[in-house]
Amino acid sequence: MTTNNERNTATFLHLSALTQYFIPFGNYIFPVIIWSAKKNESAFVDANGKNVLNFQLSMFLYFMITAAVAVPVFVYSIFKNTTITNIHDGSHFVFESLDYGNIPGFVILAIVMVVIFLFLKIIEFVLIIYGSVKTSNGEVYKYPLTINFIK
């Protein structure tokens, strides 16, 4: 049986991942601080803290994979037929023949990766809220699509 204090701490732990929208890396910093302060006092808080951190690390890995595919494809697609001509004074560059005709069909892969990235951000937000509600009801919430980095 979990106490009200444990449920509130674990709920706050889940919600602290939303600080990423206000503070860079807040989704890692604040859950780690809360979890490390309370993990020895409660198995419930410890389990939820591990779940929150594993989920955030998994999302980071998924975001890096989508960026690793999308960014190079976009850059290559846009600039593959573009020549850079240095103007006489050497301080300005002019992009010649930069138009939509230079973007090949495989740029769709990059667009799909961007859509997946946006979809993951929406799903992440919804799951954090859902996890905090489940935790406030006394359940240990295990996020889907999570790799267990911290056991």
Condensed to tens digits (0 to 9), the pLDDT of residues 9-68 reads 999 999 999 999 999 998 899 999 999 999 899 999 999 999 999 999 999 999 898 888
Which tens digits make up the pLDDT trace of 110-141?
Answer: 778 888 889 989 999 999 999 999 999 999 99
Q: How far apart are CA 111 and CA 117, in angstroms?
A: 10
Produce one character per residue of 55-82: b if its CB has 16 or more CB atoms within 10 Å, e if not. bbbbbeebeeebeebbeebbeebbeeee
Task: Note if the pTM is more than 0.85.
Answer: no
Place of tokens 């979809």: 119
Tokens of 84: 């850079």
